[in-house]
A and B are shown apart, each in its own frame.
Chain A
Amino acid sequence: MSHPIEDLQRISVKFPLAMGCEPELDGVIPVFHRWIQDRAVDGMLIDVADYAHVPQGPGVMLIAHEGNYALDLDRGRLGVLYARKQPLAGDLEQRLAAVCCAALRAAELLAGEGEQFRIAGDQLEIAANDRLLAPNDADTDSAFRPVLDRLLDRLFDGAAHELCRDEDPRERFNLHVRASSGADAATLRQRLA
């Protein structure tokens, strides 16, 4: 029997910034406003939400109808995040890939704004933003890992990777991925295309 996670739509992916990259959060505000003007990333872009004042918070967000982009600082880890809100077409692996691509496209554009925005390229954090379909437990884990493994093989071009999960049942189902080798945002995105 299939696991409900097969129906998961609310997926969030974050690509942490490279070591030593610590941009001022405020610096991304004009960038996101420009993206809205230029329709630089996918989605119906609505507004910029500034949470730079919140310690270890969501940083600066670009709110879109389909999903939110952010230069995110949750739990003190800086990264480029995309959190999907509206349904996507395709099976779970295709949806995961689409969410990764959206985050990577944002990462690619941000990298163009300066070296300080460069992602590490060998890590990502995935969360299932839906506690009904994907409770943070071993069942979800075993249903999700094969799908994720297939995606990671493509993303990291077959490089070995480690996964770890915060097992607190109150947390969203989450996996932190670290690969033995990485690439820049554009390359990673091409691999998923």
Chain B
Amino acid sequence: MTTWKEKLADQMPEEWAREIDIFEKQMELRRQGKVEEKLFAETRLRRGAYGQRYDNGKRNDGTGAKPLDYPSGDLTKGPETVWDAPGMQRIKIPFGGLNPEQMDVLADLAEEYSDAICHVTTRQDIQLHYVHFDDTPTIMRRLAAVGITTREACGNSIRNVTACPLAGVCRDESFDVTPYAQATMRFMLGHPDVQDFGRKFKIAFSGCRQHACGLVSLHDVGAIAVTKEIDGEPQRGFELYVGGGLGAVPQQAVLFDEFVAEGELLPITQAISRVFARLGEKRNRARARLKFLVKKLGVEEFKRLVLEERKTLPHDDAWTAYLEELPSYGEKALKQAEPLAAGEQAQRFERWRHTNVYRQRQEGYCVAAVTLPLGDLTSHQMRALADIARRYVGESVRTTVEQNIVLRWVRESDLPALHAELEELGLGEPGAESIVDVVACPGTDTCKLGIASSRGLAAELRERLASKQFELDQAVRDMRIKISGCFNSCGQHHISDIGFYGVSRNVGGYAVPHFQVVLGGKWVDNAGSYGLPIGAVPSKRIPDVVTVITDAYLRERESGESFQAYAERVGKKALKEKLSDLTKVPSREEDVSFYSDWGDPREFTIGDMGAGECAGEVVSLVEFDLSLVEELVFEAQLALDAGDLEAVTEKTYRAMLQGAKALVKMQFHDVADEPDQIVAEFKQRYFDTEIFFDRFAGGKFANYLFRRHESHEQAASRADARELIEEAGLFVEACHTCAAKVGSQPGAAEKTSSDSTVVTLEI
């Protein structure tokens, strides 16, 4: 019987084929127990084969934790990751660029090995879920045959290189960043200098400063296209930023250089990689991203080291070889430009055109956005879309960071026919890049770290908003909602007008899904500012939160005022007050629906939590204490808004101390209000016993407290103060989780291991 490997042998790039063979051999060695599981996990991740929820062989089915008896038994593909458990395959799509042939193959793979869904991610990748690990080499070969690699899609490596989906056709760009993104991807892929990172490394390109498309500020390396006159000649280059990132403690990228000439782009990126590999943190994953190194060294020192490194790099022709091809680079339109026929069009078309069509710089052509609900499209839709692309635009298709797909170079006269075909497929909905186009990470659907159902909430919000989108005021329609299932921020909640991330709260001994409401983020200006949480609201009341906030904005805004400007003017305190009624959780007897999550009728749980009556009382006391602590963190935010960094420093420290004290009180009620004693008791009772530990991140959150207790250094800048707030917020969340755990397991204080779900992991 012929295999895919034999069938595709001539179609795969030799190097890629060899790498996949090696991966397959490593799988075999792991099966034989000849490769250590941690090492194998990193190998697997670097091929984009990721774990998925319940792959530890356990699941709470609503009546309690039940074993999932996968036939592979004890065989694992990583720590606590059962071989046979379904996983996720991430597929890198550099700058989101796809051609119809690739779309066909993605459709086939989703159908044959996954659940017939291609999921577009917030970093322009495609993900397939519920994939059996044994199928991954075949998936990789079939992708390689059409020029797609999954290499370094996950793991401590350079992830997908992203870029504006409008690059090359944008009316505002300095120049098309596509060939630079492509060259960077090709040059860095598998490069020896990027194999020894302590964490992942993300690169993005933007064509201009003012729009959000590239989201440069939240990347490890972000490049904005600029031109500069040198010796009377315009020269291309990049305003280069470093050290950005979201995650638990987000950081805005800082300016590395105002102008890195195009010929220096690759060597400087290589030098940055070398410095990161050499000096970046390796042991403590929680502080291993480039942002921590840049912060530790200061950007000036970091830059000095990079430039020193640059001088020592052996010359590589690949740095500039691609520049010679630039003049001939560019997409060609499939059809001759033609204006849209005059006359009245159907209302549905006009609405779609209003929200989903962008007029290109090139006269007579448009970019049409295909709105994908939650980033999902079926195999059939993907294949049909490939056909549509062939007939209307040729090769010009891209995924977007807002989890949509765009068709570029659509001639205007084709728009009505194109829309009609999309409608046939169920892909002709309006509302792209609007409040309806809710972005969500996988959350509890498939992510191991998810706390609450981000996709369930997103689907609910989307349905409610879609039905009335054209009744909404334009100012509201232009807002964005982004949702993460936990604080790790894969749904990019920090950079939306209204962001949410999943948390859990204990009410009367029961876990209740909540979302923290994050306000103040900015999508425009390349994700120009990050929002902060103002308080947690029960998941089932989040649709009301959206209504209250948008209504207040419409009622109270000044003429032409953006939502960010409005939120800043009225202040977080006033906005939080508007939500105060929504924070209450009815008892189970009054409304049991609050105790399960969206789209999931099981009783909500963040582990195997029970409802011991005795524990319930203890937990309610500690929860009360912790709610006061949350107030302190919120006050710290207000202090930040007022520019009072001293108060931020003091309040965040006090919040962590009080959080620790609340936990200590669960075991030792008479603990004094004296910092040294609180910290010592907390350390002895919760840290040394590892009760406070997180399964993946260990003592990370406790270390926030210990560090602050040792050094009373005041926040030197707004960025520092922000970080203190984020850390205090995460410490309090960890206290909530720990309290729930201790409360649900009488005697857990004596245990030495933890099953906390407040975790951070490579995403």
Interface, chain A (partner B; CB < 8 A): 4, 7, 10, 26, 29-30, 33, 36-37, 44, 46-58, 61, 63, 65, 68, 74-76, 85, 129-133, 170-172
A-B contact pairs, 14 of them (CB 8 A): A33-B602, A44-B70, A46-B59, A46-B86, A49-B115, A50-B459, A51-B117, A53-B463, A55-B425, A57-B117, A57-B376, A58-B117, A58-B378, A74-B116
The interface residues of chain B lying within 8 Å CB-to-CB of A58 are 115-117, 378
In whole angstroms, how far apart are the Cα atoms of A7 and B601 in the complex? Answer: 40
Chain B contact residues, CB within 8 Å of chain A: 1-4, 7, 53-54, 59, 61-63, 68-71, 84-86, 104, 108, 111-112, 115-117, 129-130, 132, 373-374, 376-378, 380-381, 383, 425-427, 429, 445, 455-456, 459, 462-463, 599-602
Is A56 in contact with B70, judged by CB distance below 8 angstroms?
no
Establish whether residues A7 and B68, one from each chain, have CB atoms under 8 Å apart when the complex forms: no
4 more contacts with CB within 8 A, not counting A44-B71, A46-B54, A57-B426, are A57-B378, A131-B108, A132-B2, A172-B111
With A54-B377, A65-B84: A44-B115 Cβ-Cβ less than 8 Å: no
- In the assembled complex, the CB of B651 is this many whole angstroms from the nearest CB of chain A, namely 41
Bound form: Cα–Cα A133–B1 in Å: 8
B61 touching A65 by the CB < 8 A rule? no
Q: Which residues of A contact B459 (CB under 8 A)?
A: 50, 52-53
Give the Cβ gap from B100 to chain A, nearest Cβ, in Å: 10
| A74 contact from B132, B380, B462, B463, Cβ within 8 A | B380
Most-contacted residue by chain B among A4, A37, A55, A85 (CB, 10 A) = A55
A56–B69 alpha-carbon span in the complex (Å): 33
Given contacts A56-B425, A170-B104, contact A49 B112 (CB under 8 A): no
Across the interface, which residues of A come within 8 angstroms of B71, CB to CB? 44, 65
Of chain B, the residue at the smallest CB distance from A129 is B112
B253 smallest CB distance to A (angstroms): 33
Report the separation of the CA atoms of residues A55 and B381 in the bound assembly, to the nearest whole angstrom. 10
Give every chain A residue within 8 A of B132 (Cβ-Cβ).
Answer: 85
Q: Are B378 and A37 in contact (CB under 8 A)?
A: no
From A54, A63, A132, give the contact of B378 (CB < 8 A): A54
Which residues on the A side are within 8 Å of B445 (C-beta)?
Answer: 49-50
- Asked whether A63 and B599 contact (CB < 8 A) given A44-B68, A51-B117, A132-B3, the answer is no
Contact residue among B1, B61, B426 (Cβ-Cβ distance under 8 Å from A37): B61
Using known A-B contacts A49-B115, A50-B445, A57-B117, determine if residue A132 contacts B7 with beta carbons closer than 8 Å: yes
In contact, B378 and A50 (Cβ under 8 angstroms): no
Given A46-B59, A63-B115: A74 in contact with B69 (beta carbons within 8 A): no
CA–CA, A130 and B383, complex, Å:
16
B3 / chain A contacts, CB cutoff of 8 Å? 132
Residues of chain A with a CB closer than 8 A to B427's CB: 55
How many angstroms from the CA of A49 to the CA of B117 in the assembled complex?
A: 11
- Chain B residues lying within 8 Å of A49, measured Cβ to Cβ, are 115, 129-130, 445
B383 touches A170 (CB 8 A): yes
Q: Are A30 and B601 in contact (CB under 8 A)?
A: yes
Determine whether the beta carbon of B61 is less than 8 Å from that of A33: yes
Cα distance A46–B87 in the bound complex, in angstroms: 12
In the bound assembly, the distance between CA atoms of A57 and B62 in angstroms comes to 27
Nearest A residue to B135 via CB reads A85
Chain A neighbourhood of B69, CB < 8 A:
44
Set of chain A residues within 8 Å of B381, measured between Cβ atoms: 56
**Alpha-carbon distance A2/B373, docked complex (angstroms):** 44
In whole angstroms, how far apart are the Cα atoms of A47 and B602 in the complex? 11
